[in-house]
Amino acid sequence: MAKTHLTPSNPFKEVSMMGKFLRPYFYLFPAFFFLAIFTYFPIFRSFYVSLFRWNTEYPQKVFIGLRNYVDIYNDLLFWKVVKNTFFYSTSTIMVSMCLALLLALLVNRKIKFVSFYRASLFYPNLMPMVAVSLTWLWMYNPGYGVINYYLSKLGITPIEWLNDEKIALWSLVIMAIWKNVGYFMIFFLAGLQTIPYDLYDAARIEGANIFQKFWHVTFPLLAPFTFFVFIISIVNSFQSIDQVYIMTQGAPNDSTNLFVYYIYQQAFRYWNMGYGATLTALLMIFLLSLTLVLFRFLGGRIYYQA
Bridge partners (DSSP) listed for residue 62:
53
Question: Is the pLDDT confidence value at 203 over 70?
Answer: yes
Question: Is the pLDDT confidence value at 3 over 80?
Answer: no
Ramachandran bin of 254, using left for φ above 0, alpha for ψ from -120 to 50, beta for the remaining angles: left
Q: Where are the beta strands (DSSP E) in the chain?
A: 52-53, 62-63
Cα separation, 275 vs 281, whole angstroms: 10
Predicted local confidence at residue 7, as pLDDT = 53
Tell which residue, 139, 136, 146, 141, has the closest CA to residue 172: 136
CB count within 10 Å of CB 108 equals 19
Contacts 24+ apart (CB under 8 A), 176-180: 176/88, 176/92, 176/96, 176/237, 176/240, 176/243, 177/92, 177/95, 177/96, 177/99, 178/124, 179/124, 179/125, 179/127, 179/129, 179/132, 180/92, 180/96, 180/100, 180/125, 180/233, 180/236
Cα 258 to chain centroid distance, Å, stands at 14
32 within some domain: no
State if pTM tops 0.85: yes
Stretch 273-289: mean pLDDT: 95
124 within some domain: yes
23 within some domain: no
Cα separation, 63 vs 50, whole angstroms: 9
Predicted local confidence at residue 15, as pLDDT = 53
Cα separation, 204 vs 212, whole angstroms: 10
49 within some domain: no
Predicted local confidence at residue 110, as pLDDT = 85
Predicted local confidence at residue 112, as pLDDT = 87
113 within some domain: yes
Predicted local confidence at residue 18, as pLDDT = 65
SS3 assignment, position 254: coil
Phi and psi torsions of 62, nearest 5°: -120, 120
Predicted local confidence at residue 238, as pLDDT = 93
19 within some domain: no
36 within some domain: no
Report the number of distinct structural domains present in the chain.
1
Predicted local confidence at residue 9, as pLDDT = 53
- Mean pLDDT of all residues in the chain? 89
CATH of the domain at 169: 1.10.3720.10
Question: Is the pLDDT confidence value at 6 over 90?
Answer: no
Predicted local confidence at residue 26, as pLDDT = 82
Question: Is the pLDDT confidence value at 300 over 80?
Answer: no
Q: Show the domain range for 200.
A: 63-301
Phi and psi torsions of 114, nearest 5°: -65, -35
Lowest mean pLDDT among 27-31, 96-100, 168-172: 27-31
Cα separation, 194 vs 224, whole angstroms: 11
Question: Is the pLDDT confidence value at 14 over 80?
Answer: no
Contacts 24+ apart (CB under 8 A), 213-217: 214/105
What DSSP string describes 145-166?
A: -HHHHHHHHTTPPP--TTT-TT
Predicted local confidence at residue 28, as pLDDT = 85
Question: Is the pLDDT confidence value at 305 over 80?
Answer: no
Cα separation, 237 vs 83, whole angstroms: 13
Stretch 195-216: mean pLDDT: 90
**pLDDT tens digit string along 106-158?**
999 888 889 999 999 999 999 999 999 999 999 999 888 999 999 999 999 98
Q: What whole-number percentage of the chain has pLDDT above 70? A: 92
Q: How sure is the predictor about 27, in pLDDT bands with cuts at 50, 70 and 90?
A: confident
Which amino acid, 174?
I
173 within some domain: yes
Predicted local confidence at residue 20, as pLDDT = 73
Phi and psi torsions of 63, nearest 5°: -70, 125
Question: Is the pLDDT confidence value at 19 over 90?
Answer: no
Q: Are 192 and 154 in contact (CB under 8 A)?
A: no
**pLDDT tens digit string along 40-99?**
999 999 999 999 999 888 888 899 999 999 999 999 999 999 999 999 999 999 999 999
